[in-house]
Amino acid sequence: MDNNQLIPDIVSQLQNIKTIKAVVLGGSRASNTHRSDSDIDLGIYYRDSEPLDVEQIKKLAYKINDNPSPIISEISEWGRWVNGGAWLTIRNQRVDLLYRNLDYVTQIINDSTKGIIQQDFEQQPAYGFYSYTYCAEISICKILYDPFSEIKQLKEKVRIYPHILKEKIVNRFLWDVQFTLEQCKKSASRSEVFIVAGCLTRIASDLVQVLYALNETYYLGEKRFYKDESKFNSKPTNLRESLEALLSCAGNSYSKLEASTNQAEQLFNEFVKISDNIYQPKYS
């Protein structure tokens, strides 16, 4: 199998599995940010009413994988967001098949347009999964097989970043930062490194969500942060450097932990300032 023809050849065989309703190219190759050694990520969409035939996926995997032991999961084995898939190596190229429930993705995208958001920390490292990541996936993906134009229709839904989603993300995560800072201050005064370090990491993660929302960009994942941050216009000065300084050395004494907490609070205040009055604290 010629590597230049690898994706079309895989897709042509996936199309023969009747329970597959659409196939898309995702990840770095969809956004043209890939390296030569980047994985090929293929999203496989199925319906609730006609669950994915995993046995057919297994048959195909054993047929095209380089070795006789491909890793193939059942539906929902990996969680409710990244709800299964297969890890393959074909012609020395890593290929990931990722299951997606089309009904669930549609529901979550509809929720996102209404400002309804969910977060699942346990789904994946480093900072978990955010429901509106489905909007990002649909936005950047390249359609490879979509006979009923269902992915095309979802692309239209996410074409414009919803203002209500922006408001909800900014308020939810800036409030979480404000609340977390109070815990951070108390723990810093007791030199509780374990707690302060966790609080600072949580704060950094929250502020990144706010960053994407202020720039009306769907959050795809933390791997994109370094490329995206440099392009964003709405952000505190030297944001990347500030976050890295904050996380690289929280401190191991009261004075250092207090200084780190103060740095985090300064970042929070800068984000509140550039949020242009979107942020309204829950309690005055």
pLDDT of residue 38: 86
* pLDDT for residue 15 is more than 60: yes
Identify the residue whose tokens are 């984000």: 271
- Yes or no: say if 140 and 226 are a contact pair by the CB < 8 Å rule: no
Helices 102-113 and 163-189, axial angle in degrees (round to 10):
80
Q: Which residues pair with 90 in a beta bridge?
A: 93
- Yes or no: say if 134 and 112 are a contact pair by the CB < 8 Å rule: yes
- Yes or no: say if 21 and 148 are a contact pair by the CB < 8 Å rule: yes
> Mind listing the pLDDT tens digit for each residue in 110-166?
999 999 999 999 999 999 999 999 999 999 999 999 999 999 999 999 999 999 999
* pLDDT for residue 202 is more than 50: yes
pLDDT of residue 31: 85
Q: What is the percent of the chain with per-residue pLDDT over 90, rounded to a whole number?
A: 92
Longest dimension (CA), the chain: 64
Alpha-carbon distance of 225 to 166, in angstroms, equals: 18
pLDDT of residue 3: 60
Sequence-distant (6+) residues with CB within 8 A of 38 are 27, 28, 29
Average pLDDT for residues 250-270, to the nearest whole number?
96
Domains of the chain: 3-158 (3.30.460.10), 163-275 (1.20.120)
* pLDDT for residue 215 is more than 70: yes
Average pLDDT for residues 12-38, to the nearest whole number?
91
Sequence-distant (6+) residues with CB within 8 A of 50 are 18, 19
